[in-house]
Amino acid sequence: MKALDEIRKEISQIDSQLVNLIEKRMHLAIGVAEIKKENKLPIYHPNREKEVMKLATDQLADKKLSGLIQAIFNEIFTKSRALQGEKLFPYNIVLVGFMGTGKSSVGQHIAKLLSLDFIDTDRLIEERENMSIKEIFNTHGEAYFRRLEKMVIKDVSQDKNKVISCGGGVVIDQENVEILKEKGRIILLEATADTIKARVDKNNDRPLLSESPNLEEIQKKLDDRKAYYRQSADITINTDCKSIDEICQEMLEELL
């Protein structure tokens, strides 16, 4: 089958060109990350991705393939951001702060921007115990929860290049802070009692706060914990009146 052999040969040649081009593209993306770091430029540029996508699909002769090209380019963007993320942030990005300061939402968003793995210590504890945090507190008590929490902190701190959102009480234990700092930089998200109240009022299944906590209750707990949070933090970001995207951009600027 001469024709088949010829086609396969041509496909192999294209594959080898593709490999070389992808390799080259990824190296260039790392170069971009280095320049951005040196010049403190914004890391994530959604408009640039849109432009690249448009250029790619515009030059396509067979428009039926545009869905395919878009899928491939989305994958290229994700991998390219991951390489840049690993290069720029060769450690864990650890989020701490009081309940309702936005650790989980901000953590998920930043992990997506940098194509890094996201871990939420509370969700991991819930998965391991097959129970909600509230149920764990009610059934086994806080001391049991804190032991689980410490185990999870040790486990998630083994590797780097992750975004780790920690339960609000993690930094009360100095050993947890030391473990997290070995491979991570700790970012403290802060908010006023008013902001926290507005956020927890929407959904409060937090065992350490009453069902509908008033400002005094929140303020008291915040004051009790403030010193622990501040001592643990490498970077502190105020989150009041800011969108998740704004908080993430500020965080990236501070980290670089």
- Applying CB under 6 A, the residues found at the interface with ligand S3P are 99, 103, 122, 133, 167-169, 206-208
CB of residue 161 to ligand S3P, shortest distance in Å: 22
Which C-beta is closer to ligand S3P: that of 29 or that of 152?
A: 152
CB of residue 56 to ligand S3P, shortest distance in Å: 40
Burial of 92 (0-12, 13-18, 19+ CB in 10 A): buried
N- to C-terminal Cα distance for the chain? Answer: 58
Which C-beta is closer to ligand S3P: that of 81 or that of 103?
A: 103
CB of residue 208 to ligand S3P, shortest distance in Å: 5
Which C-beta is closer to ligand S3P: that of 85 or that of 107?
A: 107
The answer to whether residues 92 and 161 touch, using CB atoms and an 8 Å cutoff, is yes
Which C-beta is closer to ligand S3P: that of 181 or that of 199?
A: 199
Read off φ and ψ for residue 205, nearest 5 degrees.
-115, 30
Which C-beta is closer to ligand S3P: that of 99 or that of 191?
A: 99
Measured CA to CA, the distance from residue 30 to residue 111 in angstroms comes to 18
| Placement of tokens 């448009």 in the chain | 54
CB of residue 213 to ligand S3P, shortest distance in Å: 12
CB of residue 164 to ligand S3P, shortest distance in Å: 12
CB of residue 97 to ligand S3P, shortest distance in Å: 7
Which C-beta is closer to ligand S3P: that of 33 or that of 120?
A: 120
Q: Beta strands 184-190 and 235-238: pairing type?
A: parallel
Q: What sections of the chain are H helices per DSSP?
A: 2-39, 46-58, 66-88, 103-114, 121-129, 133-140, 142-156, 174-183, 193-202, 215-232, 244-255
**Number of neighbouring beta carbons within 10 Å of residue 250:** 16
